[in-house]
Amino acid sequence: MAWMTWHAQLLTVASIWLVASVSPGPNFLLTARIAVAQSRTRGLAAVAGIALATAIWGICGLTGVQALFLAAPWAYVALKIGGAAYLVIMGVRLIINSDRAPPKATLDTLPTPARAFTIGLVTSLANPRSALSVASLFAAALPPDPSAAMGVATVATMVAISAGWYACVVYLFASGAVAEAYARARKWIDRAAGGLLVLFGVRLAIERS
């Protein structure tokens, strides 16, 4: 019976997190663009950054970061404004660079996998509402005081779902047909992606907790 309860709780977490992961957002935009404009290797490096960020937010949810934000609202506001500024800056850079001719792709001109990893990590950490969402998820799916093993299994499930989904995105957008289509319409695709990132950032900045 206890095993069935554990199984049901993890299944609930997996179902909710899968829906949250596949919802379009900054992670999807930047991961897809890195894969199609740079390389599959760099796209997977970005996925590794997203997976680490998922683990961090999951641990924060388990350790009660929601209570911290409630006790110190200024911390939440500071993180939210910082994250919003990051997304807006990334979006504006994409829009500005869309008019520039891309350099010939070589191993020397492409951003390093470490850079792609950092982009994936920071983009995922840029929205502090993720911590509140994780906390709400745990409150709905887990008992009030989950065991350490249950906590580890829950975070591992979230990380596996995030990594699996964004790896699929990378392999899709790194395909030859998609890369060729991107090369033909790079200017407009980058402008649209940049505009959406700015929109995500502004929305994050102005929305209420």
User: Which whole number is the average pLDDT over 107-111?
Assistant: 49
Listed residue (22, 25, 46) closest to 35, CA to CA: 46
Question: What proportion of the chain, given as a percentage, has pLDDT over 90?
Answer: 13
Q: Is residue 66 a contact partner of residue 203, using CB atoms and an 8 Å limit? A: no
Return the pLDDT at 66.
59
Q: Is residue 31 a contact partner of residue 47, using CB atoms and an 8 Å limit? A: yes
All structural domains of the chain with their residue ranges: 2-206
For the record, the structure tokens of 134 come out as 């994780």
Residue with tokens 């520039």: 100
Where does the pLDDT of residue 71 fall: very low under 50, low under 70, confident under 90, or very high at 90 and above? low
Return the pLDDT at 1.
42
For the record, the structure tokens of 34 come out as 């890195």
User: Which whole number is the average pLDDT over 91-101?
Assistant: 77
pLDDT digits (tens, 9 = 90+) for 19-49: 778 877 888 888 888 888 878 889 999 999 9
Rounded CA gap, 204 and 137, in Å?
20
pLDDT digits (tens, 9 = 90+) for 122-132: 888 887 667 66
Whole-prediction pTM: 0.79
pLDDT exceeds cutoff 50 at 106: no
pLDDT exceeds cutoff 80 at 155: yes
Return the pLDDT at 72.
63
Rounded CA gap, 61 and 18, in Å?
17
